[in-house]
């Protein structure tokens, strides 16, 4: 009977230690995640400031309207069903 109590107490101690380690890991993960997004935001702000200082156009800027138009050609979509007739 004493052996069962020793095993029970030992398992409870191990469970409490594992819970403490898991909580510490979760807290560290949250901190690292917050730091990641903060640095990503700051990186974007610094990129915009650098582009403003150097006069470069932003990477994600829309191309001119002429480049957005589809080429005027004879190519068009023809469904395969109409070709089988």
Structure tokens at 1: 């009977």
* Residue 61 confidence (pLDDT): 62
| Banded pLDDT at 71 (limits 50, 70, 90) | low
On the question of pLDDT at 9 being above 60, the answer is yes
DSSP for residue 58: P
| Banded pLDDT at 70 (limits 50, 70, 90) | low
Positive or negative torsion for Cα 43, 45, 46, 50: positive
On the question of pLDDT at 4 being above 90, the answer is yes
| Banded pLDDT at 73 (limits 50, 70, 90) | low
For 12-67, how does the pLDDT look when each residue is reduced to its tens digit (9 = 90+)?
999 999 999 999 999 999 999 999 999 999 999 999 999 999 988 767 666 666 65
* Residue 78 confidence (pLDDT): 73
Domain edges within the chain: 24-52
Residue with structure tokens 């819970």?
19
Distance CA 21, CA 27 (A): 10
Distance CA 4, CA 2 (A): 5
């Amino acid at each position: 009977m004493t052996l069962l109590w020793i095993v029970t107490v030992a398992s409870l101690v191990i469970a409490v230690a594992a819970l403490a380690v898991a909580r510490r890991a979760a807290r560290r993960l949250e901190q690292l995640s917050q730091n990641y997004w903060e640095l990503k935001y700051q990186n974007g702000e610094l990129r915009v400031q650098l582009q403003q200082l150097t006069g470069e156009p932003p990477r994600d800027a829309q191309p001119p309207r002429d480049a957005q138009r589809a080429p005027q050609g004879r190519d068009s979509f023809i469904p395969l069903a109409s070709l089988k007739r």
